[in-house]
Structure formats: C-alpha cells, structure tokens
C-alpha cells in the first residue's frame, strides 16, 4: 500500500483536482463528491485524500482518518436533509469494488429496502 497518489487512480485524480467533481464537503483528510451514476436522490462518495485501497487498509493504518471519513459522510447526509441513509463500502472485486481507493457511498433520499442487491 502506498500513501502516494496513484496516477491511474480515478479518486486520486479527483482529489488532486485533475478530474472535475461536484464537491459537497471536505475536511483535512477526506473529500465528498456526488456520484456520476447515482443510485438514489442522494448518492455521494466520500474518499480519503491519501491513497489506500479499501476501508480495511484505512482502518489498519489510521483509525483517525477512518473516523474522519465516517464523520464527513454523516455531515453530508445531514446537509442533504435525508432522514435516514446507508453507508456502503464495497471491498474487493467480488463485492463490486471498481475503484481500488477506499471510499464510502452515502445513499439516501428514498426508502431503502433490505436486503440490498
């Protein structure tokens, strides 16, 4: 694992400003932006500013950054005015993780059924 931004990482490029995104929140350690293919009226991605492949790796290296990520996700949901929301973290290709940079999906703004897909 490397803390260095990966040139081929989509989220590293968004964090660096090389790819435009609709930013809806940020902290020293995290960035939140709208998903370009939303699964619900509110669908925001929250990513750490440094490159780590998934949430397990982030938790193993920095509990403070993981807490910051979850805190920003909660703040975004509050600002979006959603009464309830889901935080989703796909880890690994078998779980449909398609960008191997840790991230949370903040999904809300409609009734969410259980179990999810």
**Residue 71, exposed/middle/buried by CB under 10 A (0-12, 13-18, 19+)?**
middle
Looking at the domain assignment, is residue 103 inside a domain?
yes
Taking phi over 0 as left and psi of -120 to 50 as alpha, with beta for the rest, 39 belongs to alpha
Looking at the domain assignment, is residue 113 inside a domain?
no
The whole domain housing 68 covers 10-108
Mark whether 29 is an active-site residue.
no
CA 38 from chain center: how many Å? 13
Which pLDDT band holds residue 4 (cuts at 50, 70, 90)? low
The number of residues making up the chain comes to 117
Q: Which of 29, 43, 101, 103 is catalytic?
A: 103
Question: How many structural domains compose the chain?
Answer: 1
Looking at the domain assignment, is residue 1 inside a domain?
no
Give me the residues paired with residue 43 across strands.
Answer: 107
For residue 67, what are its two tokens?
A: 């807490």
Looking at the domain assignment, is residue 15 inside a domain?
yes
Looking at the domain assignment, is residue 114 inside a domain?
no
Q: What is the CATH number of the domain that holds 51?
A: 3.30.428.10
Looking at the domain assignment, is residue 40 inside a domain?
yes
CA distance 10 to 85: 25
pLDDT above 80: residue 103 = yes
pTM of this structure: 0.93
Looking at the domain assignment, is residue 80 inside a domain?
yes
């Amino acid at each position: 694992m490397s803390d260095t931004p990966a040139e081929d990482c989509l989220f590293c490029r968004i964090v660096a400003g090389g790819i435009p995104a609709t930013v809806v929140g940020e902290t020293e350690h995290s960035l939140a932006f709208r998903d370009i293919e939303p699964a619900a009226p509110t669908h925001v991605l929250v990513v750490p500013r440094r490159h780590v492949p998934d949430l397990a790796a982030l938790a193993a290296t920095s509990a403070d950054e993981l807490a910051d990520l979850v805190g920003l996700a909660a703040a975004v949901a509050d600002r979006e005015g959603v009464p309830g929301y889901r935080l989703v973290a796909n880890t690994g290709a078998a779980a449909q993780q398609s960008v191997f940079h840790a991230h949370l999906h903040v999904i809300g703004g409609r009734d969410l059924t259980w179990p999810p897909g």
